[in-house]
Amino acid sequence: MFFKKKPQLKTVADRELMTAVYRVRDTMAHERALLATFREVDELSRSRLTLQEGLFDFLYREARTRQVSGALVKEMAAEQLHQANL
């Protein structure tokens, strides 16, 4: 009970932030690919893509501001590649 090592709050929060960045990036890529197949794109679909782009931009800037470690980015990218290959 005493002298238990507490989890690093920054590391946990950075991991959640990077998970959100990758999730939004994948959603944005899916939306772009879907819109590329349509002849005519309605305003709702365009606004959804614009919203995803804005959210990605915000999360990316937040990660840069928080100075997420390169090792964590590398680890998360490897996890994303592994999941994509499954």
Q: pLDDT tens, 24-81?
A: 999 999 999 999 999 898 999 999 999 999 999 999 999 999 999 999 999 999 998 8
Could you write out the DSSP letters of every residue in 12-27?
Answer: HHHHHHHHHHHHHHHH
Phi-psi region of 68 (alpha: psi -120 to 50; beta: other; left: phi over 0): beta
Contact 59, 19 (CB under 8 A): no
pLDDT of residue 26: 93
Domain range annotation of the chain:
10-85
Rounded to two decimals, the pTM is 0.82
Dihedral angle at the C-alpha atoms of 44, 45, 48, 54, nearest 10 degrees? -120
